Copies of this chain bind each other. A is one copy, B any other.
Amino acid sequence: MDSKVTTILNAARKRFAHYGLGKTTMNDIAADIGMSKASLYYYFTDKEKIFVAVVDQDIAEFVDTIEQLIERPSKPSFKLKKYVTLRNQLLVKLFNLGRVENPSPADLFNPVFDELKIKYFTKEKSLMQRILQLGIDEKEFIKFNVQAYADLFLSTLAGIRTNALTASEPLRAEMASIEDQSRLFVEIFLKSIRAEA
């Protein structure tokens, strides 16, 4: 990648993480790296395109990490449990991608978020389907509708996160943590799909 583009994306990544897409301007990004506005516009015609490029990198890192997990020699049930832990960690580290799953109210109706959400959702679903199919092929899991189960699995994980992140402080104090809820969910899920030993 052009080193100028790398510089722009690194600076923009930080801006977006702190201020969100809505409150970041092309001026801010240009000023952060001491670049003229004209030069910045030469590379990207608007901040939405920069945001998409940043989140595309996040998605690539997410997919790469999970593919390594899938290829490691381990039981599918282990991969599934590890997936849940990794997912929660990655969505904290890849803050802008995490925001795509849970947009701030200001960004809720921005079509860029829709576009990125679909892209992320599609990739994640295919990763999840691979893990589940592996378990069926290796006979660790019983046969089931891989597509519907993958949907539900991801929807539940996303739901647990969204619920916790949008809860107010007093309500959150009543709830189990994202990690604990996700862990319990994967246990319950595994119990229902594990083939008899």
Contact = CB atoms under 8 A, between A and B. Distances in A.
Interface of A: 105, 108-109, 111, 114, 117-118, 121-122, 148-149, 151-152, 155-156, 158-160, 162-163, 166-168, 170-171, 174-176, 180-181, 184-185, 187-189, 191-193
Nearest to A117: B171
A176 B156 contact: no
5 contacts: A105-B108, A108-B166, A118-B174, A121-B171, A151-B176
B160 A155 contact: yes
Nearest to A147: B176
A163 B162 contact: yes
B184 A149 contact: yes
Given A105-B105, A156-B159, A188-B193, 13 more contacts: A114-B170, A118-B174, A148-B176, A151-B175, A152-B181, A155-B163, A155-B175, A159-B159, A159-B163, A162-B162, A162-B163, A189-B192, A191-B191
Contact of A188 (B105, B109, B152, B175): B152
Contacts of A105: 105, 108-109
A111 to B, nearest CB: 8
A62 to B, nearest CB: 18
Indicate the member of A148, A156, A167, A189 with the most B CB atoms within 10 Å: A156
Contact of A159 (B109, B111, B162, B192): B162
Those 10 A-B pairs whose CB atoms lie nearest each other, nearest first:
A159-B159, A191-B192, A114-B168, A105-B105, A188-B192, A192-B192, A156-B156, A152-B184, A118-B171, A151-B176
Nearest to A101: B163
A97 to B, nearest CB: 15
Nearest to A190: B192
Contacts of A185: 152, 156
